[in-house]
Amino acid sequence: MMEWIPLVFVVFKGLVLGTGMFFAIKWHYDQGKKGKDVERRAVLRASGKVAVVFVLSLLVLGFVTFALARTLGMDMNLS
């Protein structure tokens, strides 16, 4: 049976990172809207690109980690 503490910590970490990303994007969007005549689409497009790059880099890092662990002979079973 899986322990509940790592599950709670992973969910908490995801919520904290997601909330931080939301407020960071919102702050940058508000700054762009406040002082400059930056189009709304340009700011949303830029924040979308940043989010996509972040998710892709996270996936690549995960795959590289699992490949390295498997190459080193580590047991990757979840059971």
The pTM assigned to this predicted structure is 0.47
- Write out pLDDT tens, residues 30-43: 887 776 655 677 77
Tell me how crowded residue 63 is: count the other CB atoms within 10 A of its CB: 10
pLDDT of residue 19: 95
- Write out pLDDT tens, residues 13-67: 999 999 999 999 999 888 877 766 556 777 788 899 999 999 999 999 999 998 9
pLDDT band for 79, please (50, 70, 90 cuts). low
Instruction: Transcribe 4-38 into DSSP letters.
Output: HHHHHHHHHHHHHHHHHHHHHHHHHHHHHHHHS--
